[in-house]
Amino acid sequence: MMDKNDKLSAEDQARVDEYLSSSTHQVERRPYSPWKLLLVLWAVVSVLGGLSYYFAWVNDVL
């Protein structure tokens, strides 16, 4: 019997659990590194800022 808060039936939940426990979906991932993300964002912003400064300098805006 389904509880009114359950979104899946017991059979459907069993199928989902079987699908997620297969070896295809068990991928080892490295731990999340916020410093690496910060470094990438800083590099992108720096490159785009440098390009905008260069284009402003070439077009005599500065």
* Residues 6 or more apart in contact with residue 48 via CB below 8 angstroms: none
pLDDT of residue 1: 52
Burial class (CB in 10 A: 0-12, 13-18, 19+), 10: exposed
- Along the chain (62 residues), what's the average pLDDT of each consecutive run of 10 residues? 70 90 83 94 98 96 87
Map tokens 């260069």 to a residue.
54
Chain centroid to CA 47: how far? 22
Nearest to 59 by CA among 48, 47, 45, 51: 51
pLDDT of residue 46: 98
Does the predicted TM-score (pTM) go above 0.85?
A: no
pLDDT of residue 2: 54
